[in-house]
Amino acid sequence: MKVAQLRGGPIAVLLGGSSAERDVSLQSGRTVIDALQALGHEVRPVDPAEPGWIAQLAGIDTAFIALHGPGGEDGSMQGALQALGIAYTGSGVLGSALAMDKLRSKQLWQGIGLSTGGFVQLAPDSDWQQVIDRFGKVFVKPALEGSSIGMGSAADAAALQLAYREASRYGSTVLAEQFIDGPEYTVAILGDQVLPAIRLETDNEFYDYQAKYLSDDTRYLCPCGLTAAEEKEMGELALRAFRSLGCAVWGRVDIMRDGAGRFYVLEVNTIPGMTSHSLVPMAAAAAGLDIHSLVQRILEHSLEGER
């Protein structure tokens, strides 16, 4: 189904929601609404945090999901729309659920031999010193959040326990991930196309929420500084990680590179941000796609593809 065939009815843009990423989702949704309207579509904004939101989907055939985090990016909204017979953008139920779960993503990648850093699931009674002895410095993160929410680092047992307590505020499943000392990259995927990679540079300890959405000092390098062969290698790793989780249509894969030149997959985002600071629109622009073309391609791939 082509975008031109959608003009018979409104497209619902799902935005906001009740996750910790609500504010970012509202910004992403606004970007998508503006782009769809510029493309000539009638748009109906729908916020699942509002009472009666399902009734607002009456007469809707297609939904553009601009929700981030639990409730929007984890397969539950995808399943609800599927049950309602509404076509939607992005990955299906399985791909969304797996990619949202950082622990199970890494377990799967480890199982198929895909390059990802060492990790361990934490618990209230974890042996904090044993984790530090095994990995050295670690990043600690809730398994079911995005945008670096609840994320911290630790280089000793006391700091690890504190970081676990902070991360566990955002869910009971928390992991400690091997610290990789090197540059961070992100690779956007659109259909079967790997878009130009972006290198992320921040003066913060890592690419946290403040660096992602608030800071004007974060540096985005595209071209990313790798050779053509290195960027191809990284792109192939990103696409393999994306597909291994059952993801489809569009997304973003975060990757780090150590001092020896090895790439490691960190995580996959199935509904990346579409804000003024967001990375997929930057990568698309580097490939010659403005925001309107990007939104149109997402719609086309979603409605034509198998999930």
Q: What is the DSSP string of 138-163?
A: EEEEETT--TTTT-EEESSHHHHHHH
d(CA 73, CA 48): 13
Based on DSSP, count helices (H) and strands (E) in the chain, helices before strands.
10, 14
267 assigned to active site: yes
Give residue 184's identity as a one-letter amino acid code: E
Residue 277: the pLDDT is: 79
Marked catalytic residue, from 69, 96, 254, 302:
254
Q: Please say whether the beta carbons of 274 and 28 come within 8 A.
A: yes
Residue 207: the pLDDT is: 53
Residue with tokens 């192939």, as numbered in its chain: 236
Q: Domains in the chain, start-ordered, CATH in brackets?
A: 3-89 (3.40.50.20), 118-178 (3.30.1490.20), 184-304 (3.30.470.20)
Residue 233: the pLDDT is: 98
181 assigned to active site: no
Residue 304: the pLDDT is: 86
Residue 2: the pLDDT is: 36
269 assigned to active site: yes
Residue 7: the pLDDT is: 42
d(CA 50, CA 57): 13
Element spanning 88, H or E: strand 87-88
Give the residue among 125, 126, 130, 150 at the shortest CA–CA distance from 140: 150
Marked catalytic residue, from 25, 153, 269, 278:
269
Give the residue among 59, 71, 85 at the shortest CA–CA distance from 14: 71
Residue with tokens 């809707």, as numbered in its chain: 60
Task: Give me the residues of the chain with pLDDT under 70, please.
Answer: 1-8, 146-147, 203-216, 305-307
Q: Give residue-wise pLDDT tens across range 244-274.
A: 999 999 999 999 999 999 999 999 999 999 9
Marked catalytic residue, from 252, 257, 264, 302:
252
d(CA 69, CA 97): 11
Give residue 114's identity as a one-letter amino acid code: L
Marked catalytic residue, from 267, 278, 297, 302:
267
Give the residue among 248, 238, 221, 230 at the shortest CA–CA distance from 303: 248
Marked catalytic residue, from 16, 17, 19, 21:
21
Element spanning 186, H or E: strand 184-190
Q: How many CB atoms lie within 10 A of CB 217?
A: 11
Reported residue count of the chain is 307
204 assigned to active site: no
